[in-house]
Amino acid sequence: MSSGLSGRLFLLGVFALVLAGCEQREKSTTSNTGEKPKQSDSAPARAAAVTFLALEVPVKPQVTPEFVARGKQLYDQNCAVCHGAKGDGKGDAAAFLLPKPRDFVTANYRLRSTLNTQLPTDEDLFRSISLGMPGTPMPPWRHILNDSDRWALVEFVKTFSPKFKEPEKPEVVDLGKPPGNSKEAIAEGKTLFTAMGCVACHGEGGRGDGPNAAALVNDMEQKIVPRDFAKPGQFKSGYARKEIVRAMLTGFNGTPMLGYANILSNDQPWKVAQFIETLVQPERSIVDQPSKNFNVREDLGDADVKIKVIERAWQYDPNIIRVKKGQIIEVTFEPTDNGLGVGHGFAVSGYDEVAFLNGAMVGVPKKTKFRADRAGEFTFYCSTQCSTDKLHPMMNGTLIVEDSGEKKTASLK
Ligand code: HEC
Ligand code: HEC
C-alpha cells in the first residue's frame, strides 16, 4: 500500500471518530463496556466512539414494497458509487478504494453477531450501515440518513443476494461470561492467544505481522492484513472489550479471520480480549497536522504568501492562484464536504514533489508549504484522486508563478 493511500484510509477512521465524538457529547462519556480501559489514556479515549453492539437499534418499520423501493432510491443516491448499481462491489469509485466495497451478492459480511459463515441479522446490517467501518472508506451513515432510511437500506441491500431468500435463521453467538480484571486473567489470555494460533497471523506482539500474515487474501483475492492490536482506531466494529470478544467468536466472513465460537467458551474469549487490550499503544494526534512533503529538503521558514483554499460543490475556490517566483507559499485547504468519505486533497502538477496534501476534511484543514522556484502556469488538482471525469471534473485550478524579472511585460494575463 502506498503511504498516501494508507494515510487516506487512516484519516477516514479519524473522520468516523470525530463525528462519533460529537454525538457522544450529547449523550454521555461513559465507556461502552462499563469497564475502564486500563492502558494509557489517550488511545482508547480517542477510540471511544459508539461501537457495534452498543448502538441502540430502533424497531424496524413494516416492510412494504414501497419501503424497499425507498431503499433502492437511497441506495442509488448514496451507495451505488462504491458498491455498484448491481450490488456487486464494482461501483465507479471502487478502483480507488482499499479495502474494496462489499459485494452484496456473495454476501460475506464481516460484522455480525452470528456464527462463522452465517448471514448477519437484520440488526447487524443496520449497525454496520449506521456506524460504517472505521479505518476503511465505508462511511457512518447515521449522521446523514435517519433510522427509517437506514432500515429501508437494510431491506434493499438484502435483495441483492439469493442467500437472504432462504428463511433459515442465523444463530446469534453466546458471548460467555466476563471475568473480573486481573493479572491472572491477562496471563491466561496470553496463553490462549498462543495456543489458539492467533499468533500465526496477528504475531506474538499482536502487530499483525505473524508468520502467515504476508500470504493472506480475502474473498476478492485482495491481500488482507491481520488487525494490528496496537491501533484501536482500526478496529472495524469500534474498540471495546465486548467487540473484541464478538469478533473473535463470530469471525469475519470472507476473510481468513475465522470464528472461534465452538472452540473458546465461557470466560476464555474475555481473557484473550483482556490480553489484547494490553497491546494498545497511544496514537499520535493527527488533527490539523501539516501533510508531510515527500522530500523535505530545507526548512522553508515563514511563508511569504498564505492562501486559504476551500472546496465547494466539488470546485476549488479560488481556482486561480497568482504568486511570484521565489516566494514561499503556504496553502491551507479545507473542503466543505468529505468527498467519498476520504476527504479531498491539493496537489500541483509540476510541483508534485513539494506541493501536496491529502485527506483534508470538514473541520480538519491541511497545509502544504513550498517554494515557487519555477515560473509558469501549473494545474492544481485533487490528490485524493477525485479530479477525474467520472467523479469531480471541476476539481482543478491554475497556479500562476510570475517571473518577477518580466513583471511589466504586455503578455502577462
Ligand atoms: C466511499 C465508498 C462507500 C460508500 C459510499 C458506501 N460504502 Fe459500504 N462499504 C465500503 C467499503 C470499502 C466496505 C468494506 C470495508 C471492509 O471490508 O473493511 C463497505 C462495507 C459495507 C457493508 C458491509 C458490512 C460488513 O459487515 O461486511 C455494508 C452493509 C455497506 N457497506 C452498506 C453500505 C450502504 C447501505 C451504503 C449507502 C448508504 C454504503 N455502504 C456506502 C465503501 C462504501
Ligand atoms: C488465519 C489468520 C488469522 C488467525 C489465525 C486469527 N486472525 Fe484475527 N484477523 C485476521 C485478519 C486477516 C483480520 C482482519 C479482517 C479484516 O480487516 O476484514 C483479523 C481481525 C481480527 C480482529 C479485529 C476485529 C475488528 O473489529 O476489527 C480481532 C479482535 C481478531 N482478529 C482477533 C483474533 C484472535 C483473538 C485470534 C485467535 C483466537 C485470531 N484473531 C486469529 C486473521 C487471523
Query: Are residues 311 and 271 both part of a single domain?
Result: no
- Tens of pLDDT, residues 336-350: 877 777 788 898 988
Tell me, using a 6 A CB cutoff, whether residue 138 lines ligand 2. no
Q: What is the pLDDT of residue 179?
A: 94
Q: What is the pLDDT of residue 336?
A: 80
In the chain, which residues have pLDDT < 70? 1-48, 167, 283-298, 385, 390, 405-413
Q: Is residue 294 part of a domain?
A: no
Query: Are residues 219 and 316 both part of a single domain?
Result: no
Q: Is residue 102 part of a domain?
A: yes
Query: Are residues 258 and 327 both part of a single domain?
Result: no
Tell me, using a 6 A CB cutoff, whether residue 8 lines ligand 2. no
| Full domain range(s) for residue 39 | 3-277
Tell me, using a 6 A CB cutoff, whether residue 98 lines ligand 2. no
Q: Is residue 68 part of a domain?
A: yes
Tell me, using a 6 A CB cutoff, whether residue 260 lines ligand 2. yes
Query: Are residues 202 and 347 both part of a single domain?
Result: no
What grid cell was written down for 205?
A: 506482539
Substitution candidate for ligand 1 out of 83, 122, 148 with most atoms within 8 A of CB? 83
Query: Are residues 112 and 188 both part of a single domain?
Result: yes
Q: Is residue 107 part of a domain?
A: yes
Query: Are residues 43 and 143 both part of a single domain?
Result: yes
Looking at the structure of the chain, the number of domains it has is 2
Q: What is the 3-state secondary structure (H, E, C) of the chain?
A: CCHHHHHHHHHHHHHHHHHHHHHHHHCCCCCCCCCCCCCCCHHHHHHCCCCCCCCCCCCCCCCCHHHHHHHHHHHHHHCHHHHCCCCCCCCHHHHHCCCCCCCCCCCCCCCCCECCCCCCCHHHHHHHHHHCCCCCCCCCHHHCCCHHHHHHHHHHHHCCCHHHHCCCCCCECCCCCCCCCCHHHHHHHHHHHHHCCHHHHHCCCCCCCCCCHHHCECCCCCECCCCCCCCHHHCCCCCCHHHHHHHHHHCCCCCCCCCCCCCCCCCHHHHHHHHHHCCCCCCCCCCCCCCCCCCCCCCCCCCCEEEEEEEECCEEECCEEEEECCCEEEEEEEECCCCCCCCEEEEECCCCCCCEEEEEECCECEEEEEECCCCEEEEEECCCCCCCCCCCCCCEEEEEEECHHHCCCCCCC
Q: What is the pLDDT of residue 226?
A: 97
- Tens of pLDDT, residues 75-127: 999 999 999 999 999 999 999 898 999 999 999 999 999 999 999 999 999 99
Substitution candidate for ligand 1 out of 70, 102, 227 with most atoms within 8 A of CB? 102
Specify the residue with its C-alpha closest to ligand 1, atom 39: 79
Q: What is the pLDDT of residue 298?
A: 62
Tell me, using a 6 A CB cutoff, whether residue 202 lines ligand 2. yes
Q: Is residue 200 part of a domain?
A: yes
Q: Is residue 295 part of a domain?
A: no
Query: Are residues 257 and 347 both part of a single domain?
Result: no
Among 260, 277, 294, the domain-final residue is 277
Q: Is residue 285 part of a domain?
A: no
Query: Are residues 264 and 371 both part of a single domain?
Result: no
Residue 371 CA, ligand 1 centroid: distance in Å: 40
Instruction: Output the domain CATH number for residue 364.
Output: 2.60.40.420
Q: Is residue 115 part of a domain?
A: yes
